[in-house]
Structure 1
Amino acid sequence: MKAALGNPRRKVKRCLVTSRAAEEVGTKLLGRVRHDITDADTVGRALPPGAVHQGVALLCEPLGRRDLADMLTPSERRRIVLVLDQISDPHNAGAILRTAAAFGVSAVVVQDRNSPPESGALAKAASGALDIVPVVSVVNISRALDELQKLGFWRIALAGDGESALKDAATDNGDIALVLGSEGSGIRRLVREHCDAAAFVPMDSVMESLNVSNAAAIALYELRRS
């Protein structure tokens, strides 16, 4: 919630908050939104059944669409863009956003049709990263990869059957677009064909694969230390 209230692009409407949570959020941020101090039960009734909260319910509008090129400001540090190819689980998408914020990812690209909506579940899993890392929704992932190539990004598909280890596929210090596929079907063939390389994260043979959010965390660590 702090990240949402601290984001000037986020249009906030109303907030229900317990007195204890209000102290943690602070009067400055709460001053941005019409809010009521209430009890935890009232906060819970304002949310979907079964939603876990920490004494806060915020009603706000989704962030508006963004242009990919506008999000990629010049940087002396290697720029990294994550491209999520049909990752539809909000918990996975949120966890990836959280990791992206931790490793300074410039933007996360998703497809408008096959990605989870900007929901409470996604925002909670992202732990504020939804308002920190720019999320760019595109109609066509392949065309977005072509645009990234024109912007100077080396495009790497993260796949278990990749030709080389990720550290070898990203040997120079250039900007990288890292493509992650869904756990069920992985990266689609056409999307993979628009990548410059396919790479894997080395693992002991006892484990065939990782959850996509865990793979993203390991891959970003590898890219940042190389």
Structure 2
Amino acid sequence: MSERQVNELMIEGRNAVLEAFRSGRPVDKVFILDGCQDGPVRTIVREAKKHDTVLNFVTKERLSQMSETGKHQGVIAYGAAYEYAEVEDMLALARERGEDPFLFVLDNIEDPHNLGAIIRTANLAGAHGVIIPKRRAAGLTATVAKTSAGALNYTPVAKVTNLSKTMEELKEKGLWFVCADMDGESMYRLNLTGPIGLVIGSEGEGVGRLVKEKCDFAAGIPMKGDIDSLNASVAAGVLAYEIVRQRLQK
């Protein structure tokens, strides 16, 4: 799937991209013509770094392929369809509801349909928020919003620079983390109650090594069929509802 199909919120041209940054609109990624060094482009690079936006330097051919207007002036950005939340907002939501925090942590989820479906599941399972990394992740595109079936209006999503550092900080606040892993202990044998973060990776790559090392347990979903893995959003749903079941029993 091309980036154009994934994210309808494409911003083209130097002034339009600069204006997006200056207006405070969330920008997920910026693509800049490699080797372009003039004043306006340098300003865009500076703004992108200031906002910790992912920067990609690409060829003229790549920009032309991505462009919808043909007037990109060497700069194309992707703006988020929704505002990002802070991790603290999620903990505040848990306190407000009088519940133990329940967060989803997503690593390597680059398919916007998977991300949207997981946000939808997180909302229905009563989770307080979803945390994604700045890199190797789909942003809050219009496709994600549509696939979430409205859940993005209610479930906070935070984008963090370093997932493992964020997990460390949350551990200090009493959370523990369970990672979805084919080789993990059966989820039915684990105690999944209390303040918890459910860590989900992509089907292909799974959870990255550094993030996995921060997890307290690995939970496996019993597989009875002839193939060896579930779609990431389905795995998230199965594990989330085991957490829900255990919370209700408690």
Same topology, TM > 0.5? yes
Name the counterpart of 2:71: none
Say yes or no: does 1:185 pair with 2:205.
yes
How far has the Cα of 1:137 moved from its partner? 0.4
Question: Unmatched 5+ residue regions in structure 1?
Answer: 1-10, 12-48, 50-59
User: Among 53, 71, 79, which residue is 2:90 paired with?
Assistant: 71
From 186, 189, 201, give the equivalent of 1:165: 186
Call closer, same or farther: CA 1:167–1:176 in 2, change over 3 Å: farther
CA distance in 2, matches of 1:77, 1:167: 22
Matched with 2:19 is none
CA distance in 2, matches of 1:156, 1:80: 11
* Structure 2 equivalent of residue 217 of structure 1: 237
CA RMSD, aligned part only?
2.0
Give the equivalent residue in structure 2 for 1:25.
none
Task: Please give the TM-score of this superposition, normalised by the length of structure 1.
Answer: 0.69
Q: Among all aligned residue pairs of Structure 1 and Structure 2, give the percentage whose two residues are the same amino acid.
A: 38
Shift of 1:61: 6.6
Counterparts of 1:148 and 1:168 in 2: how far apart (Å)? Answer: 24
> Residue 21 of structure 2 corresponds to which residue in structure 1?
none
* Runs (4+) off by over 3 Å: 60-65, 75-78
Code of the aligned partner of 2:111:
D
Aligned pairs, how many?
Answer: 167
Q: Deviations over 1:30-72 (max 9, x none)?
A: xxxxxxxxxxxxxxxxxxx9xxxxxxxxxx9743343212321
Structure 2 counterpart of 1:140, from 152, 157, 162: 162
Q: Distance in 1 between matches of 2:170 and 2:226?
A: 36
Given that 1:167 and 1:223 are in contact with CA atoms closer than 8 Å, whether structure 2 keeps it comes out as no
Q: Equivalents in 1 of 2:149, 2:174: separation in Å?
A: 31
In structure 2, what residue type is equivalent to 1:181? G
In structure 2, the partner of 1:91 is: 113
In structure 2, the residue matched to 1:208 is 228
Distance (Å, rounded) in 2 between the aligned partners of 1:147 and 1:69: 11
What SS class does the counterpart of residue 221 from structure 1 fall into?
helix
